Structure 1
Amino acid sequence: MIERPNLWQIPQPDKAVLENLAYKKELLLQRLRQIEDSHSQVRFASSLAAEDMLITDLIARHGLNIGIFTLDTGLLPQETLDLLKLIERTYPDLKLIRFQPNRAQTQNFITEQGAQAYYESVELRRRCCFLRKIEPLNRALNGADAWLTGQRREQSTTRSELAFAERDNARNMDKYNPIFDWSEREVWAYILQQGVPYNRLYQQGYPSIGCDPCTRPIKQGEDIRAGRWWWENKDSKECGLHK
Structure 2
Amino acid sequence: MTDLTSLQLELSALSPRDILKKAIAAHEQIALSFSGAEDVVLVDMLAKLKPEATIFTLDTGRLHSETYQFIEDVRSHYGIQIKVYSPEHKALEAFVEEKGLFSFYRDGHSECCGVRKTSSLKRALLPLDAWITGQRKDQSPTRTSVPHVEKDPVFQGRGDILYKYNPLANWSSEDVWNYIRMMEIPYNPLHMKGYKSIGCEPCTKPTLPNQHEREGRWWWEEATHKECGLHAGNLSAS
How does the TM-score come out when normalised to structure 2? 0.87
Distance across 2 between alignment mates of 1:158 and 1:27: 23
Report deviation, 1:89: 2.0
C-alpha distance 65-173 of structure 1, shift in aligned 2 (>3 A):
farther
The one-letter code sitting in structure 1 at the alignment partner of 2:141 is T
Distance across 1 between alignment mates of 2:145 and 2:51: 28
Unpaired segments of 5 or more residues in structure 2? 1-13, 233-238
Report deviation, 1:64: 5.5
Report deviation, 1:61: 1.8
Distance across 2 between alignment mates of 1:62 and 1:112: 46
Distance across 2 between alignment mates of 1:201 and 1:64: 27
1:28 and 2:16 aligned? yes
Instruction: String of CA shifts for 1:102-131, please: whole Å, max 9, x gaps.
Output: 111111111101111011022xx2011011
Task: Please tell me whether the aligned partners of residues 33 and 64 of structure 1 are also in contact (alpha carbons under 8 angstroms).
Answer: no
Report deviation, 1:162: 0.8
Give the structure 2 partner of residue 166 of structure 1.
Answer: 150
Give the structure 2 partner of residue 216 of structure 1.
Answer: 205
Unpaired segments of 5 or more residues in structure 1? 1-25
The one-letter code sitting in structure 1 at the alignment partner of 2:89 is R
Of the three residues 78, 81, 86, the one matched with 1:95 is 81
Report deviation, 1:65: 5.7
Give the structure 2 partner of residue 8 of structure 1.
Answer: none
RMSD: 1.4
The one-letter code sitting in structure 1 at the alignment partner of 2:216 is G
Distance across 1 between alignment mates of 2:20 and 2:207: 32
Report deviation, 1:38: 0.8
Which has the higher relative contact order, 1 or 2, with Cα contacts under 8 A spaced 6 or more apart? Answer: 1
Distance across 2 between alignment mates of 1:186 and 1:102: 36
C-alpha distance 193-58 of structure 1, shift in aligned 2 (>3 A):
same
Instruction: String of CA shifts for 1:172-229, please: whole Å, max 9, x gaps.
Output: 3111101100011010000011011010100100000000000000100101110000
C-alpha distance 137-189 of structure 1, shift in aligned 2 (>3 A):
same
Distance across 2 between alignment mates of 1:70 and 1:44: 9
1:41 and 2:7 aligned? no
